[in-house]
Structures are given as C-alpha cells and as structure tokens.
Amino acid sequence: MLILVANLLLVYTPVVPSSAAATLPSIDLEGFRWNSFPLRVLVDMNAWSTPDYAAAVHEALDDWLRSIWNYTSSFNDTSLTMIRFAFYVSDINRTDNYNALVTFAAGEIITGSETVGLTTARWNNQTHEPISPVTVNITTYSATASHLFVRNVAMHEFGHMLGLGHASSQNTVNGPELMYYVSSRNGILFPSTLDVYGLTLLYRGMYDQTVQLPADIPYKVLSEGTVPPATPNFWENLPPYMPLLVAIAVILVLAPILLRLRRKSKPEQTAQESPQSQDDPQA
C-alpha cells in the first residue's frame, strides 16, 4: 500500500479580478474520495480561535451543502446527495472519532508566503480511501481575522478536504472561482459549477484527472440565492400578519369546541340538579 500525501495551499493576496472568465477552465481532482457520510469534522479550539470562528467553519460546511443542492436541482444530477457533515467543537462536543480536523494558526501557515490555509490529505492509492484525519489549518492572524475571512478560507480548504485540487481560472462569469489557489479579500465565496461538477466525476471514480465543464453547464458561482437554506427558520420567514392569522385560526377551531362543551354541560347540570335523574345515586 502506497500512501500519497497532498499539501494544498491557499494564498491570500489582493488581486485585481479580470473582467472575462478564462477560456476552458479546468479543475484538478485528487486521488481520493470519501466513502461514508456524514463526514465527522472536529474544530480544535486553541488560543487563536473564538466561538465565532467555529461558527464560521460550520457556516462553510453548510454553504458547501447548499451549493451542492443548488447544483443537484439546477442540473438534475443527484450523484452528490449522500454528502453530509457532522460538526464537533473540541470544547463543546469533542469526539475522538473524526475524519477532518480543523485547527487555527496565529499567522501565515508558511512564513513569508502569504499562505492562509493548508489542507493535508493522505490516502491509500489502491482503494482511494483517505486516511483520517485530513487536517485543515487556517490562520486567524492571532484571532484578529474576520468571520468572513475564516469562512472563506474554510470554504476553499473544504473543497480540498472533499478531494478537489485547484482550478485553473481565477473568475467564473459571475464571480470569483473558489478553488483558485489565490484569493482576494472581498466578498463571500461559493463553489462554482466547475468545482461541484468535478466532485461528481471524482465520486464516480475519476481520480487524479484534470477535468473541464461540459458545454451544457455554464461556468458560474453556485451562489446562495438559488439554493434552499440548510436550516430554514420557520418563524422568521413568516409574514408579519401571520400571528393574526394564527389567532383567527385558533378562534375558528376553538369556537365550535366551546359551543359543544356549553351544550353538553347544560344537560349535565340539569341532571345533577334534578332529583329524578337515574344517574344520581341519591335519588
């Protein structure tokens, strides 16, 4: 058994986005894919982490699922619907059984390189099984980084955790490419159609390849606007007049019941008062 190792870096520098998407964008697929879900992701809290960063990591996992659902419904491809995550935080619900370990670093992962994220994966090159844990390291600049920064770096690194390499293009037609090896600091990042399409091929067994989108799938960001929320908050989404409607509905349901109770209670009262009642043992 040969164990292969991939170290995948994310460099974070301000870049000027080019206006046109690169022609024939492609993405590399690694030599592994996960076989059982949910993937158990443990966030290891340390001096450079805050509860807000743990929440940012959780948000990144949720947003990956949202983008996969978006892709599934947009292109009628259900090959990734088995992907699920279980989320653990070391000081809340620690587990010793995890597939991915997220840790936070004080500064650049590799000094002087502007590297802000690093995923290290090992796998068996015959079974293509990852060897747990895959580790994800994110800098928080000594806990000064923003929530969005940590969330974006986590988004990119989770693409590696799932088995993606880097994409060749810096921009899609409607936003930045998540899996480009350099990222700019502005805006929220989501996977592209190329990223998720690459995953569908990887999870069908196309290892160690560089792939391109088919002509019928546009190269775009699978943004949050067209995907169902991961955990919809029912009460917040209700229109403002909903409490009144609920009150009216309650009255409509209760009114007949109350009327029936009143009708029932009247004969019972007369029966108790009546000395002729057969139900009254005193009679």
CA atoms within 13 A on the CB side of 1: 10
Output the CA–CA distances (angstroms, integers) from residue 93 to 41, 51, 61, 279, in the order listed.
11, 13, 17, 61
Q: Which residues bind Zn ion (CB under 5 A)?
A: 8, 10
Question: How far, in Å, CA of 224 to CA of 112, rounded?
Answer: 34
Output the CA–CA distances (angstroms, integers) from residue 230 to 18, 64, 100, 108, 126, in the order listed.
32, 10, 21, 32, 35
CB of 88 to Zn ion, least distance (A): 24
Residue number with CB closer to Zn ion (10 or 109):
10
Residue number with CB closer to Zn ion (8 or 45):
8
Residue number with CB closer to Zn ion (21 or 178):
178
CB of 108 to Zn ion, least distance (A): 14
Residue number with CB closer to Zn ion (101 or 161):
161
List all residues 6 or more positions away from 64 whose beta carbon is below 8 Å from its beta carbon: 83, 85, 155, 158, 159, 162, 191
Residue number with CB closer to Zn ion (136 or 213):
136
CB of 181 to Zn ion, least distance (A): 5
CB of 164 to Zn ion, least distance (A): 9
Residue number with CB closer to Zn ion (101 or 154):
154
Residue number with CB closer to Zn ion (8 or 222):
8
Question: How far, in Å, CA of 280 to CA of 283, rounded?
Answer: 6
Contact (CB, 8 A) for 163 and 32: yes
CB of 117 to Zn ion, least distance (A): 7
CB of 199 to Zn ion, least distance (A): 15
CB of 8 to Zn ion, least distance (A): 4
CB of 152 to Zn ion, least distance (A): 12
Residue number with CB closer to Zn ion (8 or 68):
8
